[in-house]
């Protein structure tokens, strides 16, 4: 029950562990209580259903009995007429029954309406609460509040639903009256219902309305009122039923209500992403992936082929050449032949990496590729930042080599030791306009030691170090709640001067790297594990910042106003990664529920959803997604890296 990975023989009773235990126990109790409440509601609705059925059967029974009595009476009368006897004095009873029937019937009808109201509220609340539950599922006390609010909000809908029932029933009553028939005698089962403390007062009121004509009027007016609401309520009901039919995993909501969005309309099949192949050579979870940008070299051997870099928890970074996925006349003529012996893998579908970069001790967690693709930076659990060459000493691109060529030259160029804890994220500001005075390319690295450090790429010297809030610098007893930077994004304009940093407590700070000052600050939810931001990306053209959160949401922030425009519940588990297409129209997100979703940035609706990768352990799904920025429309590529160690490649065609 201790939250730290200490050896088994240390003292388990510590204050943090006790508090943690109390927390978990409390949450568990809340959860149990909510489950009990859910069960209770479902049982209540079931009993309401059954009672309603029973009552319906009883009224049908009574109806038939009365018909029987009438027929017997009629038969007797016929018989008397036939035998010439005077009319039987038992005629009055039916009439008195028919006279009393309206008054009693009206009272009864009001009671019936009340019971229908109760039944319908149970049934409606049950279906509504299911959808609300999905949207507001949270551990702890939040759930109970949302239950209460959900029921409160549902009163309106319940009333509407009941109005529908009222309207239907009122119509049947009216039909009976206009037909001149007697209202069925609901003598039997109605009294047994218990919830009619107000129905007694109602019967006292209704005692005034004994005349049938006045009843007709009342029924008519109420009917007219309700006809308008019927149309709208049935429309609402239709929407609700659609919600139910889609199953427990999804609920449709408009973007104003937080809801997981299903694809609206089927996009044309040619615009969908499809899996092209799987790259599996990593032995552990793939933590981060990035495509190589198009390089501008002249000679064919120096030019990189379309390639992908993947960094993994097994401590290696692999470079994959993706030419086999895009067969074209030019590449096949100059492509290298893969020499594979018969005992090793011989399947054409298995791509092997062109190069495996070894050197990190422990998992590699961060990756940043230079814009001219001459090298790349990596950061890992060993707190080191390493720079690697992508071009070997002869000037040939490493993407062109065969997997089993000589490894004699070590591509690892430099190790920067500056951080004292895990380096979780790094980013290069590659949109710098060259030729201006402040045109240095900077590397920003974020680490769990709480700092964001800035290096120049030519001399690898430390330029600046940003620390978070001063209060958070003091570590809490549990350690985990300390606010550490989790993700970085350079703002694409302003010649590479602005850097956005997101923290595990949910805040986003935008720094000006020249002065070191905070330019903008966006506050998140209250701290705690669920508010952690896992990734932020900057939109290439709009002043928009998009963040992915542990609480399953993706949020859009406006940089001009510094506020959150919108929050969408994007996945069923934590959202771990985001990638924006360079055109700015599509956003992709991946989460621990093993699904990838593509969103349209303008309307913020989900365009496509794809589930892939397998869960590792207790719920690690997808760690990173990336668009390729190559510029060729036919060869657009998308990749996702998962905790099962595989990388899936997607293409449009």
Partner 1 sequence: MVINRNKKGTRLELKTVDTDSDDKLDDSLAEKLIRRAESSLAVQTVIQHGIVFCHSLFAVMLKHIQWGASIVLAVDNSDIEAIVRLPEGVDPAVWQCEHLRQLCLQLNQLVALLIPECLPSNEDCREMKAGEWQYLCAAHVSPQPCSAIDYIIHTLDGATALLNSSKFFPSRATIPMASHKHFSSIARRLYRIFAHSWFHHREIFDDFENETCLYKRFLFLSTIEFQLIPEKLITIPQVFDMGV
Q: Which of residues 4-63 bind partner 1 (CB under 8 A)?
A: 4-8, 10, 12
Residue in 126, 480, 582, 605 binding partner 1, rule: CB under 8 A: 480
Binding status of residue 448 toward partner 1 by CB under 8 A: yes
Residue in 102, 359, 468, 506 binding partner 1, rule: CB under 8 A: 359
Can you give the length of the chain in residues? 653
Closest CA to 206 of 109, 112, 88, 273: 109
**Interface region with partner 1, contact rule CB under 8 A, candidates 92-100, 111-119, 228-236, 376-384:** 376-384
Binding status of residue 339 toward partner 1 by CB under 8 A: yes
Least distance to partner 1 from the beta carbon of 30, Å? 18
For residue 460, CA distances in Å to 309, 350, 454, 546 come to 22, 38, 9, 29
Closer residue to partner 1 (CB): 40 or 614: 614
Binding status of residue 574 toward partner 1 by CB under 8 A: yes
Residue in 147, 273, 424, 650 binding partner 1, rule: CB under 8 A: 424
**Residues 429, 496 contacting (CB under 8 angstroms):** yes
Tell me which DSSP letter residue 55 carries. H
Please state, in angstroms and rounded to a whole number, the distance separating the CA atoms of residues 135 and 258.
7
Residue in 268, 618, 633, 634 binding partner 1, rule: CB under 8 A: 618
Residue in 486, 553, 579, 595 binding partner 1, rule: CB under 8 A: 486
Please state, in angstroms and rounded to a whole number, the distance separating the CA atoms of residues 247 and 257.
19
Residue 626, classified by CB atoms within 10 Å of its CB into exposed (0-12), middle (13-18) or buried (19+), is buried
Residue in 26, 29, 36, 407 binding partner 1, rule: CB under 8 A: 407
User: Residue 482: what are its φ and ψ, rounded to 5°?
Assistant: -70, 145
Which residues within the stretch 261-290 sit at the binding site for partner 1 (CB under 8 A)? 278, 280-284
Please state, in angstroms and rounded to a whole number, the distance separating the CA atoms of residues 466 and 518.
10
Closer residue to partner 1 (CB): 259 or 645: 645
Q: Is 501 left (phi over 0), alpha (psi -120 to 50) or beta?
A: beta
Which residues within the stretch 63-102 sit at the binding site for partner 1 (CB under 8 A)? none
Binding status of residue 383 toward partner 1 by CB under 8 A: yes
Residue in 15, 82, 245, 349 binding partner 1, rule: CB under 8 A: 349
Closer residue to partner 1 (CB): 532 or 595: 532
Binding status of residue 215 toward partner 1 by CB under 8 A: no
Residue in 104, 289, 368, 484 binding partner 1, rule: CB under 8 A: 484
Please state, in angstroms and rounded to a whole number, the distance separating the CA atoms of residues 405 and 635.
28
The three state secondary structure string of 418-456 is CCCCCEEEEEECCCCCCCCCCCCCEEEEEECCCEEEEEE
Residue in 153, 204, 361, 518 binding partner 1, rule: CB under 8 A: 361
Binding-site size for partner 1 (CB under 8 A) equals 80
Closer residue to partner 1 (CB): 163 or 530: 530
Residue 289 makes CB contacts below 8 A (sequence gap 6+) with 308, 309, 310, 311, 367, 624, 625, 626, 639, 640, 641, 647
Binding status of residue 551 toward partner 1 by CB under 8 A: no
Which residues within the stretch 525-544 sit at the binding site for partner 1 (CB under 8 A)? 532, 534-535
């Amino acid at each position: 029950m201790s939250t730290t990975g200490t050896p088994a023989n240390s003292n388990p009773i510590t204050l943090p562990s006790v508090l943690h235990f109390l927390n978990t126990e409390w949450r568990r109790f809340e959860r149990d209580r909510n489950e009990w409440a859910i069960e209770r509601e479902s049982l209540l609705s079931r009993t309401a259903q059954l009672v309603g059925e029973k009552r319906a059967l009883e009224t049908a029974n009574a109806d038939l009995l009365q018909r029987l009595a009438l027929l017997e009476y009629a038969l007797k009368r016929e018989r008397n007429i036939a035998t010439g006897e005077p009319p039987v004095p038992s005629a009055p009873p039916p009439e008195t029954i028919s006279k009393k029937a309206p008054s009693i019937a009206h009272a009864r009808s009001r009671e019936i309406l009340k019971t229908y109201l109760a039944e319908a509220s149970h049934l409606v609340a049950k279906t509504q609460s299911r959808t609300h539950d999905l949207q507001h599922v949270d551990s702890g006390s939040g759930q109970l509040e949302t239950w209460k609010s959900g029921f409160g909000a549902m009163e309106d809908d319940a009333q509407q639903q009941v109005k529908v029932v009222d309207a239907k029933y009122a119509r049947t009553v009216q039909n009976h009256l206009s037909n001149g028939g007697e209202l069925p005698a609901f003598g039997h089962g109605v009294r047994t219902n218990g919830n009619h403390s107000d129905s007694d007062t109602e019967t006292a009121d209704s005692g005034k309305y004994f005349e049938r004509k006045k009843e007709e009027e009342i029924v008519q007016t109420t009917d007219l009122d309700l006809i308008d609401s019927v149309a709208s309520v049935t429309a609402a009901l239709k929407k609700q039923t659609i919600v139910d039919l889609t199953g427990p995993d999804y609920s449709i909501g408009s973007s104003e209500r937080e809801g997981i969005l299903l694809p609206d309309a089927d996009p044309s099949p040619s615009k969908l992403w499809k899996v092209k192949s799987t790259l599996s050579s990593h032995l552990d979870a793939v933590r981060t992936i990035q495509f190589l940008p198009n390089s501008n070299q002249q000679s064919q051997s120096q030019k990189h082929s379309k390639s992908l870099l993947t960094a993994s928890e097994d401590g290696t970074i692999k470079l994959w050449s993706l030419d086999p996925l895009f067969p074209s006349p030019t590449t096949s003529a100059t492509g290298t032949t893969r020499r594979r012996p018969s005992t090793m893998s011989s399947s054409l579908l298995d791509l092997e990496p062109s190069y495996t970069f070894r050197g990190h001790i422990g998992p590699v967690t961060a990756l940043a590729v230079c814009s001219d693709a001459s090298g790349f930076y990596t950061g890992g659990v060993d707190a080191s930042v390493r720079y690697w060459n992508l071009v070997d000493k002869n000037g040939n691109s490493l993407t062109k080599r065969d997997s089993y060529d000589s490894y004699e030259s070590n591509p690892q160029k430099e190790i920067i030791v500056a951080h004292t804890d895990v380096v979780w994220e790094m980013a290069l500001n590659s949109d710098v306009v060259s030729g201006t005075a402040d045109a240095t390319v900077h590397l920003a690295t974020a680490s769990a030691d709480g700092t964001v450090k800035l290096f120049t790429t030519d001399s690898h010297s430390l330029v600046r170090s940003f620390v978070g809030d001063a209060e958070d610098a003091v570590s809490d007893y549990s350690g985990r709640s300390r606010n550490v930077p989790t993700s970085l994004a350079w703002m694409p304009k302003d010649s590479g001067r602005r850097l956005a940093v997101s923290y595990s407590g949910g805040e986003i700070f935008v720094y000006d790297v020249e002065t070191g000052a905070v330019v903008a600050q966006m506050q998140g939810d209250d701290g705690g594990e669920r508010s952690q931001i896992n990734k932020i990306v900057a939109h290439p053209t709009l002043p928009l910042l998009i963040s992915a959160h542990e609480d399953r949401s993706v949020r859009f922030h406006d940089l001009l106003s510094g506020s959150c425009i919108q929050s969408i519940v994007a996945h069923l588990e934590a959202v771990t990664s985001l990638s924006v297409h360079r055109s700015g129209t599509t956003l992709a997100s991946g989460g621990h529920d093993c699904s990838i979703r593509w969103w349209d940035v303008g309307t913020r609706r989900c365009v496509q959803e794809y589930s892939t990768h397998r869960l590792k352990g207790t719920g690690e799904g997808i760690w990173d997604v990336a668009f390729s920025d190559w510029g060729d429309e036919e060869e657009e590529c998308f990749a996702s890296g998962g905790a099962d160690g595989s990388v899936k490649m997607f293409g449009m065609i």
